[in-house]
Amino acid sequence: MRVEFRYDETTPEGRQISSWLALQVNKSEAIRNLILAAMNSSSMERRIILAMEQAIDRKVRGLVTSSQVVLDDSEDAELAAKLDEMF
Amino acid sequence: MFVSGLDIGYGYTKAVSGEKNTIFPSVIGDAPEIAYHSDLVSSRGHCTKYTVDSKSWFVGDDALLQSKQQVSPFARERVDSETLDVLLCAALNALGVGSGEQVVLVTGLPVSWYTDRPRLAKRLLGHKLFQVDGEWRHFHVHDVAVVPQPFGAFFRSILGPAGHIVNSLLARGRVAVVDVGMYTTDYALSDGLTYVEKGSGSIPLAMSSVYDLMAREIKQQWGLEMSPHQVDRACRSGEIRIRGQSHAVQQLLESALDQVWDSLQGKAFELWGDGLDLDAVVVAGGGAAYFGSRLEAMYPQVTRANGNGDPGLANCEGFYRYAVRKFGSYGKLP
């Protein structure tokens, strides 16, 4: 699964997301932590949005919209093949 | 086709299928006729009797409560014992397996006994005929996959409910798993989805060691003898009651955890050192709730396999997700 965060830096919301990501020492680590925080839910997209909102600013609600989070359900073929041969 | 993840541990039997799960003590015992059933206390008013191969048993909490002779699947012979058959039937029955249904299973074995997997698979496969309170039921275990126990927690971390890889970063990474069970603690290492033997192993120390130490202290202080399951319950409730008086057990628990932790962290260090090259350390098992913070102090990259869920079910949830993947096409099972 691939997760994309889309944001428009010309909007205040987009700038807030962008500045939050810039503050992270390691951007991919920050996104990985968001995904880990969001994983244990049937509605993963909603949880990612909430995790991201909390990470950016706990006081702000509704900052991140689902259009800014795009889930791609396709698997990495190489990883999938390796997993299927594991046991 | 009925798909299930099954974890018949020393302490507890766990099984998962879809949204359903069951967890009960891995104990069976003789099933005497109970002369009086209270209508007022429904959860204790009736004990379910399982009959397998003409022998009748109570299972789990019913056995702990009512059976004079209790049997647990101790030690390595559990893969070949009739206890295993009874626990299997009880677990799948609790999940609602249909009579006559075909079943596919993923289950686990401690890392150091993983060579026993053909024996375990052979025991689980085939037709299972049993009675529940005198009513005949049967199912057929069509296929079984046996994986090293801690890989259940790893699968829980990387697979979604439909068996997709949902965490590619973790799947690609160098990930250690610690599974603190009742009688064994299992360690496993996956490097880009390759099982690393030299980074994996088991030690026969886990929550039962903690409970033994506590039971000894309780016996010494108050003269009360307690079984591991009774101490387990006391730890969950935070107290023991002696002659109607409540006594907190937190201090006893912490002291016992400290003693057992020395060995647990020693094994982790032997396998993974200070863990600088590990992307994540996944913790699972019933003992994760007790040792999680200690592990986190040792390896800050610790992550719980199933988040805020019951860590005792994490392996089993992972077995189920792997079963959906392995035996069906992302949930579209025959």
CB neighbours of A8 closer than 8 A, spacing ≥ 6? A14
The CA-CA-CA angle for residues A77, B147, B50, to 5°, reads: 130
Phi, psi of B304, rounded to the nearest 5 degrees: -80, 135
Judged by CB atoms closer than 8 Å, whether chains meet at A82 and B192 is answered as yes
Q: Give residue A42's pLDDT.
A: 57
Q: Give residue A16's pLDDT.
A: 79
Nearest Cα residue to B73 out of B63, B65, B84: B84
User: Could you tell me how many helices (H) and strands (E) chain B has, helices first?
Assistant: 11, 18
Q: Give residue B199's pLDDT.
A: 95
CA separation, residue B318 to residues A72, B4, B34, B53 (Å): 22, 10, 38, 31
Domains and CATH numbers, chain B: 2-34+46-148 (3.30.420.40), 169-207+253-307 (3.30.420.40)
Q: Give residue B105's pLDDT.
A: 95
Q: Which of A39, A76, A86 is facing B168, going by the closest CB pair?
A: A76
Percent of chain B clearing pLDDT 90 (strictly above): 68
Phi, psi of B256, rounded to the nearest 5 degrees: -70, -40
HSE at residue A50, side-chain half, CA atoms within 13 A, is: 11
pTM score, whole prediction: 0.79
Phi, psi of B86, rounded to the nearest 5 degrees: -65, -45
- The three-class DSSP label of residue B5 is strand
Q: Give residue B297's pLDDT.
A: 94
Q: What is the ipTM of this complex?
A: 0.76
> How many Å apart are CA B29 and CA B26, to the nearest integer?
10
Judged by CB atoms closer than 8 Å, whether chains meet at A83 and B171 is answered as yes
Task: List, in sequence order, every beta strand (DSSP E) within B205-248.
Answer: 239-242, 245-248
Is the model more confident about B263 or about A1?
A: B263
Q: Give residue A1's pLDDT.
A: 56
DSSP string, A14-42: HHHHHHHHHHSSSHHHHHHHHHHHHSSSS
List, for chain B, all residue ranges whose pLDDT scores fall below the cut of 70: 34-45, 74-80, 329-334
> How many Å apart are CA B139 and CA B95, to the nearest integer?
13
Judge whether B1 and B28 are in contact, CB under 8 Å. no
Q: Taking all residues of chain B, what is their mean pLDDT, rounded to a whole number?
A: 89
Judged by CB atoms closer than 8 Å, whether chains meet at B172 and A79 is answered as yes
> How many Å apart are CA B73 and CA A43, to the nearest integer?
38
Judge whether B222 and B230 are in contact, CB under 8 Å. no
A42: nearest CA partner in chain B: B161
Q: Count other C-beta atoms under 10 Å from residue B85's C-beta.
A: 17
Count Cβ atoms within 10 A of the Cβ of residue B295 and give its class: 0-12 exposed, 13-18 middle, 19 or more buried: buried
Which residues of A are less than 8 Å from B192 in CB distance? 82
With cut-offs at 50, 70 and 90, classify the pLDDT of residue A3. low
Judged by CB atoms closer than 8 Å, whether chains meet at A80 and B193 is answered as no
Q: Give residue A72's pLDDT.
A: 67
Judged by CB atoms closer than 8 Å, whether chains meet at A39 and B309 is answered as no
Residues in chain A: 87
Is the model more confident about A57 or about B322?
A: B322
Is the model more confident about A8 or about B212?
A: B212
Q: Give residue B74's pLDDT.
A: 64
Selected for mutation to probe chain A from B169, B189, B195 (highest A CB count within 10 Å) is B169
pLDDT in tens, B190-232: 999 999 999 999 999 999 999 999 999 999 999 999 988 899 9
